[in-house]
């Protein structure tokens, strides 16, 4: 199982709306993430817009490809681009794991 942590930057003037949209994630988007192998997926947002994402998956690159192939991801990414100025799913700054306590 891969544990993946990544960073993105949400536009500071859009934080409240970004949080609101994530309280209302489309059911078909949640289903697509699960089907693509995304597990224990969490997003954390700092008040300056720093977004930290964490996900567990068997193969992160394969999970990304599986999501990219879905129609719902295309719609979601188009809606979310206004918060980042680009497609978030292609802009992850992945962090190196240096320690894990099992």
Taking the whole predicted model, whether its pTM rises above 0.85 is answered as yes
Q: Domain map of the chain by residue range?
A: 2-95
Q: How confident is the model at residue 97, as a pLDDT?
A: 96
* Catalytic one of 3, 11, 22, 46: 22
Q: Provide the CATH topology of domain 2-95.
A: Alpha-Beta Plaits (3.30.70)
Q: How confident is the model at residue 41, as a pLDDT?
A: 98
Q: Which residues of the chain have pLDDT under 70?
A: none
Q: How confident is the model at residue 86, as a pLDDT?
A: 87
d(CA 56, CA 79) in angstroms, rounded, equals 24
Q: Indicate if 22 belongs to the active site.
A: yes
């Amino acid at each position: 199982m891969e544990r993946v942590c990544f960073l993105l930057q949400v536009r500071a003037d859009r934080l409240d709306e970004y949080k609101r949209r994530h309280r209302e994630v489309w059911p078909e988007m949640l289903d697509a993430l699960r089907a693509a192998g995304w597990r224990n997926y969490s997003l954390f947002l700092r008040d300056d817009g720093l977004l930290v994402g964490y996900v567990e998956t068997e193969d992160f690159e394969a999970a990304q490809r599986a999501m990219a192939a879905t129609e719902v991801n295309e719609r979601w990414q188009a809606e979310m681009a206004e918060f980042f100025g680009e497609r978030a799913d292609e802009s992850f700054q992945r962090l190196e794991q240096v320690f894990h306590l099992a």
